[in-house]
Copies of this chain bind each other. A is one copy, B any other.
Amino acid sequence: MIPVITAFEQSPDEGRGLARDMPVRWALEEAGQPYEVRLVSFAAMKEPAHRALQPFGQIPTYEEGGLVLFESGAIVLHIAGRHAGLLPDDADARARAVAWMFAALNTVELPIVELEQALYLERDRPWCEARLPLLEDRVRVRLEALSGRLGAADWLDGAFSAGDLLMVSALRRLAGSGILGGYPDLSAYVARGEARPAFKRAFAAQRAVWAGRP
């Protein structure tokens, strides 16, 4: 049974792999699991047919037989639970890897998304420029802590895991902001993630959609 995921018909990030299908594609590639992609337009995402799969009218979704899932974190965890390569075997180490998944999506990504939203949704507001330093500082507080924990290690807790997959994905959203450059260890961590063959295959696949060659 080959799973089917949904992705943007027209990627708003112009193929930079920042949409939420990217971590799902990456996880599927790490797992060696073939998948199919159904592209969805912005209009169709808000229609009842898509909302039956994704109540909030977003991508990605994941369909596998009778199972329908949404939320990229949940989909990655589902894939990680069924295939080798994304979670350690030891139960305690597995729970810690899952903790890093939640840390990536909540603790680290939240201020990054806040910064993005300020730039995308409030760019024309009179307060936008004045707020940016506050938002950048909130991101830095998280990066400082993350950097302190990562130390000289390659990955957050032993071997590469779904926690690293989501953390690298969160940090990639900072590309172009200049903030990540202040943390050479975290920049190198992101580069290690992007160098993985599975990442490269996933990235190329989503980029081909943007380039009109799906």
Contact = CB atoms under 8 A, between A and B. Distances in A.
Nearest to A48: B148
Interface in A138-168: 142, 145-146, 148-149
Q: Binding site of A, secondary structure by majority: helix, strand, loop or mixed?
A: helix
Given A78-B98, A134-B121, A103 B142 contact: no
B51 A69 contact: no
| Most chain B CB atoms below 10 A, which of A56, A95, A99, A103 | A99
Interface string A78-117: 1000000000000010011011011101110010011001
Interface of A: 51, 55-58, 66-75, 77-78, 92, 95-96, 98-99, 101-103, 105-107, 110, 113-114, 117, 121-122, 125-127, 130-131, 134, 142, 145-146, 148-149
